[in-house]
Structure 1
Amino acid sequence: MSQPRLRVLSLGAGLQSSAIVLLAAGGEIAPFDVAVFADTGWEPHSVYRQLDRLTGIAAAAGMQVVHEVVLRPRTRRTPGDAPGCGPFTCPHPTEPVDPDPPEPADVGTAAAGREVA
C-alpha cells in the first residue's frame, strides 16, 4: 500500500480532533500536514480558545492549522418555525443571531442519574 501524499485533519476543536492533535504532536500517531478548522463564525468562545491552544501545539510540532470562516448566517429559525424549515430556505420570520452568546455553565456535568442535554 502506498503512503498518503497529504495528511489532512478536519479540526473541530472538540474532544476527538483535539485528541488527534495531541497524539500527533506527541509522536504517538503519524503527524498531519495540515488541519483545517471550517468556522461558521458563531462558535462559543471556548472553542476559539481551544483552537488557539491547539494551533500553538500543532505549530510547535511542525503541523499547520488553517482557520477558515466558511459560513456566517445572519439569522436562525425561531422555535415556532414549521417542521422541515431550513435555516436559509425558511419563509417564516427569523430572529437575529447573537454574535456573542453566553457560554453554558457546567457543560458535560450532571448529578448522578440525570441526563446531560
Structure 2
Amino acid sequence: MSAQPAPTPTTDPTLKSPLVRVEDLVKHFPAGGGLFGRAVVHAVDGVSLAIQSGETLGLVGESGCGKSTLGRVIVRLQPATSGHVYFKDTDLTKVRGEKLRRTRKEMQMIFQDPYASLNPR
C-alpha cells in the first residue's frame, strides 16, 4: 500500500506540529519459501501522512490492501519494517514498555463496522 506524502507545512510559526506524523512507513511479511529464496509480501510500502489535532483520517481501500496493517503498525501492535511514527513529537518506533502502553491509551483504530468497534469511553 502506498500513499502520497503529506504536504510540507509552511514555516509559519503559528502552525503546530501534527498530532500524528508517519514518515516512509514500511511493513513487509515473509511469505514462505519461494523457488529462489524467501518471498516477501509488501503490505505497507512507503506511507507518509500527517494528522493534526482534531482531524480524523479515514482510510479506504479494497480488502487486503494494507489498511488494518497500517493501523496496527502506527499504534505499534506490529513492528514496522522501516520508517517512523511520531505521536505528539515522540518517535513511537523507539518507545517501549509502560510508556508505550500509556501512549496507546490515547489512540484508537476503528474498523469497518464502527458500531461494533467504537470504544464506549
Pairwise same-fold verdict (TM > 0.5): no
Greater RCO (Cα-Cα under 8 Å, separation 6 or more): 2
* Higher share in strand: 2
**TM-score normalized by the length of structure 2:** 0.22
* Higher share in helix: 1
**TM-score normalized by the length of structure 1:** 0.22
